[in-house]
Amino acid sequence: MSTLAKILTFGFVSGLLWSVVPGILADLFSSLADVPATIIAGIVAGVLTSAFFALLVARLGRGLTVVVGLFSLPVGAFLFGFLLALISRFLPALTSGAHVVIEPWTLGLNYALLSVISIFAIGLFPLAALTTLLLRAFMVRGKGIENTIF
């Protein structure tokens, strides 16, 4: 499988799974009309976050990959919030319309900030580190990893 295919596959699956987190924690699944926007924003954020970190973590060892994973949480959360606001603004048919449309930069920053300072960060940081370790494993599968750092 090519590197691009690996990134797209991993990003799609992880983004789909990670979309459940704000869907539940931010109550985005309370209306069935908001589910498509939440899932689409999660998948696209997952692909973009995976693309951003994939080549980096493929060259790092497990220890540094965990550290990078801690940074992936606010990055992915920002992308999710940013994309969700764009979907709400430009594709209102995918949302219930019950939410106030917020500026994409504002919603992205809110999600990024709340992902690291809320009580939920206790569970989200380990999940982000685990997801990044899985991304690394997916990227280096079948390759020699003798050139990794730490």
Q: What is the pLDDT along the chain (150 residues), one digit of tens a residue?
A: 888 999 999 999 999 999 999 989 988 888 888 889 999 999 999 999 999 999 999 999 999 999 999 999 999 999 999 999 999 888 877 776 656 678 999 999 999 999 999 999 999 999 999 999 999 999 998 564 444 554
SS3 per residue for the chain:
CCHHHHHHHHHHHHHHHHCHHHHHHCCCCCCHHHHHHHHHHHHHHHHHHHHHHHHHHHHECHHHHHHHHHHHHHHHHHHHHHHHHHHHHHCHHHCCCCCCCCCHHHHHHHHHHHHHHCCCHHHHHHHHHHHHHHHHHHHHCCCCCCCCEC
Amino acid in the structure at residue 56:
L
Please give the model's pTM, rounded to 2 decimal places: 0.89
Phi/psi of residue 14, nearest 5 degrees: -65, -40
